Structure 1
């Protein structure tokens, strides 16, 4: 199973973050399949790659206790594909989502794995 993560620190309200995440999903052509106050999940649309390569993107928003308008955003991109190559489909989706965030949002990356 391929899995790539990134942790961002963001200066924005939870509501604004959720809207930003949805816009990122739309820009990356991902379908929003689950949405809660602090957790969003999107999946790739089937038809372009095999089932095991379809990526799932999870975003967890953790508000910082002492700062009302700041949060940590944990991004996870995963699929069932074995990551036998460095440049696999899951990694390409991860790169696309991260590049879209960099291009459209003002988020600071804290940890990239």
Structure 2
């Protein structure tokens, strides 16, 4: 299973973070599958790649340690593909998400770790 993790800080209130996340995810062609107060799950649209390569993203909004306008957010990007090639589909989608987040002034990167 390919799996990539990163952490960002959203320069927004806890209430604004889900909207910011939805905008970024939709710009990368991910659809929200589940949304709770401090958790989101999104998936890549089926049909473009084989089923085993469909990427899902789990997002934890760390509201318990959030400050007024700084909310830590952890992203886990994964799929069922074996990461035999370092430039696999999951890694490509992870990089696309990282680029989208870094281009937005609302997000500041903390870490990005392949696992």
Q: Same fold (TM over 0.5)?
A: yes
Q: Identify the residue that residue 57 of structure 1 maps to in structure 2.
A: 57
Distance 1:109 1:66, change over 3 A: closer
Which 4+ runs in 1 deviate beyond 4 A?
none
Number of residue pairs matched by the alignment: 113
Alignment of 1:70-109 (within 5 A): 70-109=70-109
CA-based RMSD of the aligned residues comes to 1.4
User: In 1, are the aligned partners of 2:57 and 2:75 still within 8 Å (CA)?
Assistant: yes
Gaps of 5+ in 2: none
Gaps of 5+ in 1: none
Q: Identify the residue that residue 30 of structure 2 maps to in structure 1.
A: 30
TM-score of the superposed pair, with normalisation by structure 2: 0.91
Distance 1:86 1:65, change over 3 A: closer
TM-score of the superposed pair, with normalisation by structure 1: 0.93
Distance 1:2 1:67, change over 3 A: same
User: In 1, are the aligned partners of 2:102 and 2:109 still within 8 Å (CA)?
Assistant: no
Distance 1:105 1:52, change over 3 A: farther
Distance 1:66 1:98, change over 3 A: closer
